[in-house]
């Protein structure tokens, strides 16, 4: 989603800083807050805080260029994959539904299923109600694929 990306001049400056200080964590990078998906709640194994610049740069490069380019040239066709199930939250602000739909329409596995999840966000598998919907749909779909 272009709205989530800072202006080009900022991105270029951040890329330069990432080269010099890849582990720097500044407020211009995404903020990871695992408190709603930590399991168990007392764990400290999940990263918390602003992402390091190198991580942010890598994810921005992959999502902004690599995946789109690979889909266009067929390098990410998934033609040799048998089954692909994709669930996406309709209210996901991190990965917009349109981007997931585009990916689903572009890949060509032997069998695929797309499930938009109403009222769910990027944390759809951390929310009990949406997680149950997805798990049930996935179980049913796998059962269909096996028959």
Nearest to 35 by CA among 25, 47, 50: 47
pTM of the model: 0.75
Q: Let me know how long the chain is.
A: 147
Who's near 78: CB < 8 A, 6+ residues apart? 84, 107, 108, 109
Who's near 120: CB < 8 A, 6+ residues apart? 89, 90, 91, 92, 127, 130
Contact 109, 78 (CB under 8 A): yes
**Whether residue 3 has pLDDT greater than 80:** no
Mean confidence (pLDDT) of the chain: 89
Model confidence over 77-124: pLDDT tens digits? 999 999 999 999 999 988 889 989 999 999 999 999 999 999 999 889
The two most distant CA atoms of the chain are separated, in Å, by: 54
């Amino acid at each position: 989603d272009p709205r989530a990306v800072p202006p080009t001049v900022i991105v270029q400056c951040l890329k330069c800083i990432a080269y010099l200080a890849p582990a720097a964590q500044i407020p211009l990078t995404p903020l990871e807050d695992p408190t709603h998906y930590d399991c168990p709640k007392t764990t400290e194994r999940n990263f918390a805080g602003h992402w390091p610049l190198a991580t942010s740069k890598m994810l921005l490069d992959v999502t902004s260029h690599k995946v789109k380019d690979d889909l266009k040239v067929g390098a990410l066709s998934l033609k040799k994959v048998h089954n692909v199930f994709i669930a996406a939250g309709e209210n996901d602000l991190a990965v917009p539904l349109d981007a997931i739909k585009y990916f689903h329409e572009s890949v060509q596995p032997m069998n695929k299923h797309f499930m938009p999840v109403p009222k769910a966000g990027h944390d759809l598998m951390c929310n009990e109600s949406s997680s149950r919907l997805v798990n049930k749909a996935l179980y049913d779909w796998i059962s269909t694929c096996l028959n």
